[in-house]
Amino acid sequence: MRFRHYDNLRVFTIVAQHGSFSSAADELRLTKGAVSHQMRQLEAELGFAVFQRHARGISLTSKGQELLATVQAAFENVEQRIAEMRHADNRTLTIGVTTYFASRWLSPRLMDFMRAHPGIRLRIQPMIDLQDLRGEGIDLAIRWGDGNWNDVAIERLFPCPAWPSGDRQAWELVQQRGLEAAFDAFTLLRDREDSDAWSRWYRVAGLPHKGRADTLIIPDPNVRVQAVMDGQGVALNDALVMPEIEAGRLMRLSTFELSDYGYFLAYEAGAMNNPDADAFRRWLKSVSVRDM
C-alpha cells in the first residue's frame, strides 16, 4: 500500500525536534490536539509507533529515530535541489585565467563567444595560482605548462612552447660569450619555488644545470615579462609575447624550447555536467584549433 500523508512527515520532524506536542503546535500554529491527531494518523498509516508517550512528554521509538534520520535527509536533499533550481537561471560561469592569458589571447576573442551564447553569463576571474579550482569557485581554468597535472581533468587547447627571453643586453651577452657562459651570469626568473621548467630547459639545451641561488620568483606572468624588459633577469616565455619581441623590447635568447608546453583547459570532475561549461569548452577548443 502506498504512503499518502507526506504532510504528516513534516509535522513529525517538528514534533521530534521539540520532543513535545505542545511546543510543536506553537511553531505550527495548530492546537495540541490537531498535532496529536496527525501523529496518530501517521502511525496508523505506517503500521508502527514512532513515539512513546509518557506522563511528562514523548520520546522517539527506535523506528521513530530511524524514520526521523531518513526523512530529514530526504527533506535536506529536496531543499538543496530546489535552491539549485531556483538559482540556476542566475548562475554565472566562472573562468580562471592569468591576466597574461586573458589580455593577450582570450579577451580579443571573447565577444565571439558572447554573441554566440547570449544566455550564458561569464565571469573572468584573474588568478595567479590556478591550482585550487573548487576552493576558488572556478568552473574552468586555463593553465600553461606541460599538462602533467593529476589534480583535475586536463584537455589540451593549443601548443605554445616555452623558450628563454631577455632584454637586448642579455641577447648581446649570449652572442658574445655563448649560451652556457651567458646563462651562468643570468638571474633566472621563475613562477614558483617548486618549478622544474628551467632545469628541463637546461637538459633540452644540453647545458649543465648547477644548483643556483641567483633566482627570482615572480608568480604573475605579466610582472615577470616586465621584469625581463627591465633587465632583472631572463624568463621562460611563449609566443604570446610576440608584440614585445617584434617591438625589440624582448629578445628570444635561444632556439631550444620546451616543445611540450602549451595551454590546457582544467576542470574538476563533473564540471561538464553544466551545459554552460560544456559550451565554453567546445568554443575554446574550436577557436584554438582554428587559430593554430
Total of domains in the chain: 3
CATH number at residue 29: 1.10.10.10
Shared domain for 137 and 274, answered yes or no, is yes
Q: Which domain holds residue 234?
A: 163-252
pLDDT digits (tens, 9 = 90+) for 96-140: 999 999 999 999 999 999 999 988 989 998 887 656 566 567 899
Shared domain for 128 and 267, answered yes or no, is yes
Percent of the chain with pLDDT over 90: 61
Mean pLDDT by 10 residues, the chain (292 residues): 83 91 90 92 92 87 93 86 62 88 93 91 81 70 88 90 97 96 94 88 91 80 95 96 96 96 90 90 86 59
CATH number at residue 126: 3.40.190.10
Residue 1 lies in a domain: no
Shared domain for 55 and 105, answered yes or no, is no
pLDDT of residue 84: 62
Residue 193 lies in a domain: yes
Instruction: Confirm whether pTM is higher than 0.85.
Output: no
pLDDT of residue 3: 80
Is 250:241 a contact under the CB 8 Å cutoff? Answer: yes
Shared domain for 115 and 83, answered yes or no, is no
Shared domain for 154 and 285, answered yes or no, is yes
Shared domain for 240 and 285, answered yes or no, is no
Residue 84 lies in a domain: yes
Residue 103 lies in a domain: yes
Shared domain for 184 and 147, answered yes or no, is no
Shared domain for 152 and 192, answered yes or no, is no
